[in-house]
Structure 1
Amino acid sequence: MNDIDAWVWWLVGAAALGIPLVVTAMPEFGMLAAGAVAAAVAAGFGVGAVAQVLVFIVVSVALIAVVRPIANRHGKQSPRLATGIDALKGKQAVVLERVDGSGGRIKLAGEVWSARALDTDRAYDVGQEVDVVDIEGATAIVI
């Protein structure tokens, strides 16, 4: 046991911290593993055990303190590019069959959709342009 250098133990620790990173997908384990790699580098340069532990702690805490808030901020941002039905909301469509409170057909983004008017008292005639305000299932709600 005494024949194995300290830097090897730090790399074993880094690998051991990589396992829960992969299993749990918690990035904090990766930051701790990076701290262990930094301590292994310090041990490779012949730094004492206390300094190695301090390098591990400083690098790990610095990564957690700096990287984690940035990652949380990016995770909470909504996507800038609307896709799916969210991309269709607010688009204009052309009425193909009369649309009223009970139904009808429109051409939306090159496709034929079933549609109904948001205001049940309102009707839209063939050829008229309407705005899509919502999508419920396969039916566009228009005004």
Structure 2
Amino acid sequence: MDWIRDHLWESWLALSIVLGVAEMFSLDLILAMLAAGAAVGMIAAIIGLPVAVQVIAALATSVAMLALVRPAFVKRLHSGPELALGHGKLVGTRGLVTEEITGLSAGRIRAGGEIWSALPYDENLRIAPGETVEILQIKGATAYVHPVATLEP
């Protein structure tokens, strides 16, 4: 115990390093915040503050980091662009009708450089070739579409 008392800042540094290495294995950002608290304890030891003040500074910093910094880091790490893969990326895009679409028979549209079978989202609609449609849903290999309103001069 005398060695730790004689080498307080080295003890805080060792604790900070151990917590930092342990964080690399856990990846939940809790141990990193505690390592930051240990680093503040090390700075307090270098300055020559009493052990009680070092411990209080380390604890206060750790709690502040856990309460204020970690949530922002976690939110930033877990957020990102929503990736639409496969045919789901076509939902919300527009296509061109190449074959008439009615509620009774599927027609064809060109969307995303491919030809898709299509049915109207509202089964009472009839969509003529050449019209632009928006893809609202895809089930299997059939796109459910709705015509896009156009302004006529």
Could you tell me the TM-score, scaled by structure 2's length? Answer: 0.72
- The one-character-per-residue Cα deviations of 1:28-84 (angstroms, maximum 9, x if unpaired) are 22111111111112112222211110110111111122123434665786x5x6652
Which structure: larger Rg?
Answer: 2
Between Structure 1 and Structure 2, how many residues are aligned? 141
Instruction: Determine whether 1:107 maps to 2:118.
Output: no
Alignment match, 1:60: 62
Which SS does the other structure have where 2:41 is aligned? Answer: helix
Q: What is the RMSD of the two structures over their aligned residues, measured on CA atoms?
A: 2.9
TM-score normalised by length of structure 1: 0.76
Q: Pick from 89, 92, 95: which aligns with 1:93?
A: 95
- The partner residue of 2:26 within 24, 27, 36 is 24
The whole-number CA distance in structure 1 between the counterparts of 2:106 and 2:26 is: 48
Query: Once structures 1 and 2 are overlaid, which stretch shifts more, 25-34 or 130-139?
Result: 130-139
Q: Which runs of 5+ in 2 are unaligned?
A: 147-153
Of the candidates 72, 76, 93, which is equivalent to residue 70 of structure 1?
72
User: Which residue of 136, 140, 143 maps to 1:140?
Assistant: 143
1:56 aligned partner, one-letter code: A
SS of residue matched to 2:127: coil
Q: CA deviation at 1:114?
A: 3.3
Residue of 43, 46, 49 corresponding to 1:47 = 49
Distance (Å, rounded) in 2 between the aligned partners of 1:95 and 1:24: 53
Regions of 4+ moved over 6 Å: none
- Is the counterpart of residue 14 in structure 1 residue 29 in structure 2? no
Classify the secondary structure of the residue corresponding to 1:131: strand
Percent identity (aligned):
33
Q: Indicate the residue corresponding to 2:150 in structure 1.
A: none
